[in-house]
Structure 1
């Protein structure tokens, strides 16, 4: 475990509800996945700086598009040489890095046990081919784990529209899309919205101890608020989806 991974592991319990939920879900999926090899091969799509697969008992391949000038550069999306170098120094479970657009994937069929795709699909114009290509690279018995903004409640429109989001899916829309390429699909809601979630999203800093303590407290409260919201469309921030092959 690297120093970076240790710090991440140590602080995970006080991180945002979304991060903790995703980590716990993926760990459960890994634990329940029967494979003959020692470690699951996971493709982390859009995972250039992903904290979600850090220190997991898996061999992780990170895939992301190259960073380009314009919106991607402004929002710090995609891979750069600097990001690649930092990742390789900080992460011990990285098996490979692929700089590629998943809608134009050249990866072999059935080459991974599972795929993780966190807050990515809302950025993708060609979402049908994106999901099709993800499903193709998963071996039989594998799974794909997605999260995306909850379009039943959070609309990407008006003056606060995110310029890099193509769409926000409703639960039904996401379920229908995934069912085209996966044998079994579970889509549910996650993370209660409100002042505690918003405060919890503020960064931790030793230079801002009061803000940090407020964020830690808010994340703990928000985690309690977020229990039992799987079927609650109103005032929930995310859709969580699992597709099984």
Structure 2
């Protein structure tokens, strides 16, 4: 059995390299598609706006004109939504293409910086453990991930009497386990796996802002660090907990 270990290790390393190559190719494809679609989308948005202006100037409005105005408004909304989807694709491709500069990062300071960038953070009740262990990360990418996760916790707590977000971290061996919990909308735990799929949402359209790209972005950032991310909930209306298993800072 011991004689097979070098061969198994080589096969494992080759498989990891293939997966990295596939991920890089996917990031390139996402970048190309999202970038190249922007020009025609800008034309759609512009001409939908011009059409709405022309229809508004019709001197003798009638049922057909009102119907056409509704069509133009729908076209504008859909085009803006598509623009948000392209923004999500670009963010994921950038996260996959950006050079990775790993260093020890003060997790507590990174969380505070993310809070400072979060709109409406002052209205949130924060329960953040101190002190926190340091992690090994690319600081800008970690900042992007934390901002997204804290933003989600606040967003999906809309409508609660008080928005409470709890953050804890502890070192477990060579990793740091980070948990971000809220008391918001939650979701059906049977559908948890679909949360990380691009443009997937477990809530009704229009109930919360966004296009369902945030957790896909977080997963891509975690993958690049050799980290793991999971999301759990007891059920709808019972809050949500995001758990990260992240490499601890190297001594």
Q: Which has the higher helix share?
A: 2
Q: Which has the higher strand share?
A: 1
| Larger Rg belongs to | 2
TM-score above 0.5, yes or no = no
Normalised TM-score (structure 2):
0.24
Normalised TM-score (structure 1):
0.24
